[in-house]
Every structure is written in C-alpha cells, then in structure tokens.
Amino acid sequence: MFSFRRILCSAIVVSGLISPALSPALALDYEAKPVNAVITAPFRAVGAVAGMASCGLFSGPVDDGFHQAKKSTSKLAGAFGDENGKPEVLAAAPIVGPVGLVVGGVKGVFKGAVHGAKVGWSKPFSRYSFVTMDEEGKK
C-alpha cells in the first residue's frame, strides 16, 4: 500500500511547500526588537551551545550519577532496615550503586544539556552555564 519512503517524500514536499508561506510570520521584526537583542543573539547562541556541551557531556552525568547512586543505595538500605545504618549501606552499595550511577548518568546527559542551554542563553559563558549548580543553590 504505502511505503515508508513514499510517506517520507510526501512529508518533505509538503514541508517544503508550507515553509515559504510561513516565513513572513516567522521573520524577525527589526522595528519591534531592540537592536541589542539582535546583536547579542549570536553570542548567546554560542554560549548556549557551549553550556549544553559542557553540562550535557560532563557536569550533568557526573552530578546526577552520583546523586542517583546515593539515593538508590539509601532506599535499598532503608528496605534492609535502617537507611543510615552502616551495615545496611555497605550491603546495599554494591547491589544498586552501579545501577544508580548508570541510570543517573543517562538522565544527567539530558538534564545537563537542557540546563546548559537555558543558562547559556540567559547568561552566556558564565560559571553557571558550565556546571549544573544553580545560583540559588550555592552557599
């Protein structure tokens, strides 16, 4: 009946026909936008990409991996009896610690990339655009 290739080609043709019709609606209105926003947009975009790469590849996975491993270890230690007890934590750490590290690392890639893009756009090349710590979280 319909092949995937035919549907994909149809979608590309339709998007090619619709996008020129929408371009006037999506164009920048230079009279409505301040000149400063237009000038700083490339700088902010590069800052967002740099923050996204830094947080998504390093800071986010390390931070979320550590916290997820700690949370899953204490949760299993709580199931063993006492979540703050040293024997329970020592018994739970080899069981769920590595799993929490991997799961938190994978989640941290996405959370870190989103954080780096948001902060990198609003405050390009600031300290907080390269780490997953918020300004409110520092003491």
**Tens digit of pLDDT for each residue in 19-65?**
566 555 555 555 566 767 778 888 888 989 998 998 889 998 999 99
In-domain check, residue 136: no
In-domain check, residue 48: yes
In-domain check, residue 20: no
Judge whether 47 and 121 are in contact, CB under 8 Å. Answer: yes
In-domain check, residue 75: yes
In-domain check, residue 11: no
C-alpha distances in angstroms, 3 versus 9, 11, 17? 10, 13, 21
Q: Is 50 exceeded by the pLDDT of residue 139? A: no
What is the domain range of residue 40?
33-128
Tell me the whole-structure pTM to 2 decimals.
0.66
Helix axes 35-54, 86-122, angle to 10 degrees: 150
Instruction: Show the tokens assigned to 66.
Output: 């550590």
Q: Using CA atoms, how far apart are residues 30 and 35, in angstroms rounded to an integer?
A: 7
Q: Residue 99's pLDDT is what?
A: 93
The more confident residue out of 35 and 8 is: 8
In-domain check, residue 60: yes
The total number of structural domains in the chain stands at 1
